[in-house]
Amino acid sequence: MKLSTIIPLLPLASATPTQQARPHPSLNKYPGLDILAKRAGLLYFGTAIDNVVLNNSAYISIAHNSSEFGQVTPSNGQKWMYIEPSRNNFSYSMADAIVKPAIRARQMRRCHTFVWHNQLPAWLEGGNWTKAELTGVLENHIRNEARYFGNGCYAWDVVNEAFEDDGSFRDSIWLRVLGKEYIELAFRFARKYVGRRVRLYYNDYGIERVNVKSKVVAAMVKDFIDRDIPIDGIGLQAHFTVGRAPTYDDVKAALNLFIPLGVETALTELDVRIQLPDSLEKQALQAQVYANSTKACMDVGDCVGVTVWDFWDPVSWVPETFPGYGNACLFDDGLKRKQAYYAVSDVLRDDGE
């Protein structure tokens, strides 16, 4: 997700009739999602937070409510273009604006991401690097960022989206200069500098079904383990669309691809976009996708948690990236809980009782 326009602190608008959250008969009986997730055996239920909305106090009061979200991911602030905007010049202010309040709120942090093909600074993307030079740049970046955040991250998304949908390696400066070994290098450097307690994840989209891509990722994990390359987890991003989303069985089967390999899994960027205009019927389908995805994680032994890719519709990445789609989150424009929120709450509560 790319950084977009700053959201001003404005009075919260009322939702349109088709966007109204479904009234729930026992709302007062519902604790936050993270409390329910822990009761159901997960480590956390979390959210991503972007810097564009940090001036909205109503939003922040929910984002850093640890009973609702026990884990936080900075959407953008830890990506290369913001951490190292010029060579060997490191800036942590964007990340700190999210990480430090999360620490005060006693929320776990998933840190995101050391290596990606996107959101790279011009000095890096446009450089004429030798293999040795770019290897040094990669190690230097991971060393500085890892040492700054120390052991404060539960997990790091070490490499993000290295494969195309057909299972081939995605074209990037990393692949062109370093070859496919860049993935292995990143994990070795990450382990060297973050310490033993932090989980090292590979993170990708489109692996929430058993398909060519998910099988290639599983093969990579097996190869890494066979060769003692450190890897601890697989993040299934879970960016879904109403009408085309994986079923409960699909997601569960994909998660189960990785369990025999001895790594943990997580749904790391869950959202469910709707083709606009919205309707109550589409919201009901969206709620079922959220519930199915959460339930699949709960029912797979080593799936540790679910993170939504922000929880408030106005700051979702979806409308900018997928024109004609939106309303992908758990809370509507007026920061009211949607049907999807209650569906997740129900499935977590039912399992925890």
Q: Examine the residue annotation and report whether 208 is marked as an active-site residue of this protein.
A: no
Active-site choice (84, 145, 161, 208):
161
d(CA 61, CA 76): 20
CA dist., res. 13 & res. 334, Å (int): 5
Nearest to 272 by CA among 330, 217, 197, 223: 330
3-state secondary structure of 145: helix
Phi, psi of 306 (to 5 degrees): -125, 130
Residue 310: helix, strand or coil by DSSP? coil
Q: Which helix (H) or strand (E) holds 44?
A: strand 44-49
Q: Which two tokens stand for residue 107?
A: 């929320």
CB 139 within 8 A of CB 186: no
Measuring CA to CA, which residue among 308, 293, 267 is closest to residue 47?
Answer: 308
**Rounded to an integer, what distance in angstroms lies between the CA atom of residue 141 and that of residue 119?**
14
Residues in contact with 61: Cβ distance below 8 Å, sequence separation at least 6, in sequence order = none
Contact 48, 309 (CB under 8 A): yes
Characterize 72-110 residue by residue with b for buried, 16 or more Cβ atoms within 10 angstroms of its Cβ, and e for exposed: bbbbbbbbbbbbbeeeeeeebebbeebbebbeeeebbbb
Q: Is 270 within 8 Å of 277 (Cβ atoms)? A: no
Long-range contacts of 75-78 (CB under 8 A, 24+ apart): 75/1, 75/48, 75/49, 75/50, 75/51, 75/112, 75/309, 75/310, 75/317, 76/1, 76/2, 76/3, 76/50, 76/51, 76/119, 77/51, 78/111, 78/112, 78/113, 78/145, 78/149
Q: Which of 84, 145, 264, 269 is catalytic?
A: 269
Please give the angle made by the CA atoms of 346, 22 and 14, to the nearest 5 degrees.
135
Asked about 353 being catalytic, the answer comes back as no
User: Which positions are catalytic?
Assistant: 161, 269
